Amino acid sequence: MARTVRIIGAPMDYGANRRGVDMGPSAIRYAGLADGLERAAVEPVDDGDLSMPRAEERDPDADQPSRGNAKFLREVEDVCTRVGDRVAATLADGEFPLVLGGDHSVAIGSLGGSARDADLGAVWFDAHADLNTPETTPSGNVHGMPLAAALGRGAFGETEWAPAPRLRESSIAYVGLRSIDERERELIRDSEMTAFTMSDIDQRGVSTVVEEALEIAADGTDGVHVSLDLDWLDPKTAPGVGTPVRGGVTYREAHAALEALSRRDEADGILRSMDVVEVNPILDEANETATLAAELTASAFGKRIL
């Protein structure tokens, strides 16, 4: 029986500082996500999008953490709680949860739901570390905080909704980092996480790096969550993102990375959940970034040239 992939749309832009990313789930679907998944021999089932009010209708400072600054925190909590419930229910039904963002703060919900009843590792394809807390953030934008929230860092540790209960810090591996705050750099060095930067990819090749990242994330866990932020790619390849950083992976490197993920999953069944985030159609060119997001997702599930 083919694996059933349940698509959960989370069109949230509360965590970002540029509007438009809320249209990402629709753009990825329009780019042929379902067809790509079917060609990868999985069965896509689309749950539609979670409903949420527009950011213009809400006060970003109405609810603040006990310390520091986090914009739209009440709205982020609401959406991520519902995402987490959907992810957990999908797994309980024996299906695979694929969350479409929206900004990267939706990963708080993805991780929380996936780690609700399993020891979880994570592979983080991203230009950024996403380890800021309300106390350390320079902007207050929660899309720079999802890993810190899931790990219960800073003020997030005083909440019930943010920490992912069984996410293992030692089983988190970054792939492709290239834009890190000084405080985040210190946190990574002092943590049990593993970070592969773009320099590691340059020196060793993307497939080797991804294989090592998966080995770390799968070791001693019940499964691996994959978080794919499209700003991981070079902005010449993926222009439709809110926080582009030069020097990212190329088109072929990105496909090679997700194909390496698929090969390991086919061998060992390690992949448990996934989110695809930060596609901003307003900043895109002819839906190029959304098309790439759909293609890479299909590669993660086994779509091949031959």
Q: What's CA 224's distance to the chain center, in Å? A: 12
Measured from the Cβ of residue 85, the count of other Cβ atoms closer than 10 Å reads 14
Angstrom CA distances, 55 to 15, 18, 74, 110, 284, stand at 10, 11, 12, 21, 21
Enter the DSSP assignment of 301. Answer: T
Helix (H) / strand (E) containing 168: strand 167-177
Class of residue 20 by CB neighbours under 10 A (exposed 0-12, middle 13-18, buried 19+): middle
d(CA 248, CA 250): 7
CA 162/CA 157 separation, integer angstroms: 8
Identify the residue whose tokens are 């069984």: 166
> Angle at the Cα of 172 (from 277 to 203), degrees rounded to 5?
85
Dihedrals φ, ψ of 150, to 5°?
-65, -30
DSSP 11-31: ---TT-SSTTGGGHHHHHHHT
The residues carrying an active-site annotation are: 104, 126, 128, 130, 143, 229, 231, 278
Do 112 and 225 meet the contact criterion of CB atoms below 8 Å apart?
no
Q: Radius of gyration of the chain from Cα atoms?
A: 17
Beta bridge partners of 7: 46, 98
